[in-house]
């Protein structure tokens, strides 16, 4: 079994330390950066996924996340991004929930939400948990409530349950309009823009309602694909 220390050594071995300062300046979160681009992370993750069952991947992902190294947290999220997990599903969901309070930068949070959104689609009742995030003091957790629910904007033939979930998240978006954090506003605009490809009328109605108070850049983002 690959240990977190061995995995970190592999990530560092493949990295370019000269690239680390630019990465730190770009992402802005105060943590260690190795200088490893996404293709290098993907190669490591592919090897670990092939060698480890899901419980072992969860254990490795937990250790990588706790290292607080940028590339390690990205790798942790990628390790746990999988559509179907069967009986191991609760293990991955629990580990994802453990990460949410640590969200502090867009790249890591967004990658982690890709793992989380699979678990939400697998069990939509977990939206009850996500709803609490919109009142979280951490703005990155509030933002994650929208990022992790993006799959409901992309359904061409949504079921009645899907439509109910979509309306529920739109209600959250309406409540979050008052949150003036740039990243929250950006997430609302992006969620609405994605939905506009399938249901432009519903997005237009939102913009005529609670969306009237969005910041101008978020409104433009939301309406960008509406004819």
Structural domain spans, the chain: 1-122, 124-227
* Phi-psi map region of 86: left, alpha, beta (phi>0 left; psi -120 to 50 alpha): left
Q: What percent of the chain has pLDDT over 90?
A: 96
State the average pLDDT over residues 77-106.
95
CA 132/CA 38 separation, integer angstroms = 32
Angle formed by the axes of helices 4-13 and 38-51, to 10°? 140
State the average pLDDT over residues 106-127.
97
CA 8/CA 72 separation, integer angstroms = 7
Helix/strand/coil (H/E/C) assignment for every residue in the chain: CCCHHHHHHHHHHCCCHHHHHHHHHHHCCCCECCCCCHHHHHHHHHHHHHHCCHHHHHHHHHHHHHCCEHHHHHHHHHHCCCCCCHHHHHHHHHHHHHHHHHCCCHHHHHHHHHHHHHHHHHCHHHHHHHHHHHHCCCHHHHHHHHHCCHHHHCCCCCCHHHHHHHHHHHHHHHHHCCCCCHHHHHHHHHHHHHHHCCCHHHHHHHHHCHHHHCCHHHHHHHHCCCC
Predicted local distance difference test score (pLDDT) of residue 226 = 86
Query: pLDDT class for 227, splitting at 50, 70, 90?
Result: low
Q: Is the pLDDT of residue 177 over 90?
A: yes
Q: Facing residues of 69 across strands? A: 32
State the average pLDDT over residues 177-182.
96
Predicted local distance difference test score (pLDDT) of residue 47 = 96
Indicate the CATH number of 124-227 among 1.25.40.290, 1.10.10.10, 3.40.1390.10, 2.40.160.20: 1.25.40.290
Average pLDDT score, the chain = 96
Q: Is the pLDDT of residue 42 over 70?
A: yes
Query: pLDDT class for 1, splitting at 50, 70, 90?
Result: confident
Q: What percent of the chain has pLDDT over 70?
A: 100
Q: Is the pLDDT of residue 68 over 80?
A: yes
Q: Is the pLDDT of residue 197 over 80?
A: yes
- For residue range 161-172, what is the model confidence (pLDDT) as tens digits? 999 999 999 999
């Amino acid at each position: 079994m690959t240990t977190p220390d061995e995995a970190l050594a592999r990530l560092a071995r493949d990295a370019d330390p000269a690239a680390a300062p630019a990465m730190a300046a770009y992402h802005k979160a105060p943590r260690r950066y190795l200088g490893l681009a996404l293709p290098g992370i993907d190669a490591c993750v592919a090897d670990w996924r092939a060698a480890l069952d899901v419980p072992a991947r969860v254990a490795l992902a937990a250790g990588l996340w706790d290292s607080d190294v940028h590339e390690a947290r990205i790798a942790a999220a990628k390790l746990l991004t999988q559509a179907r997990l069967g009986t191991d599903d609760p293990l991955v969901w629990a580990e994802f929930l453990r990460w949410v309070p640590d969200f502090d930068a867009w790249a890591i949070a967004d990658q982690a939400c890709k793992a989380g959104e699979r678990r939400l689609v697998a069990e939509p009742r977990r939206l009850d948990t996500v709803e609490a995030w919109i009142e979280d003091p951490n703005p990155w957790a509030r933002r994650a409530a929208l990022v992790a629910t993006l799959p409901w904007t992309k359904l061409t033939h949504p079921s009645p349950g899907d439509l109910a979930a979509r309306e529920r998240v739109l209600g959250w978006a309406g409540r979050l309009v008052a949150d003036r954090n740039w990243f929250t506003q950006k997430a609302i605009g992006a969620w609405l823009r994605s939905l506009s490809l399938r249901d432009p009328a519903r997005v237009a109605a939102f913009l005529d309602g609670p969306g009237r108070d969005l910041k101008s850049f978020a409104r433009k983002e939301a309406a960008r694909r509406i004819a």
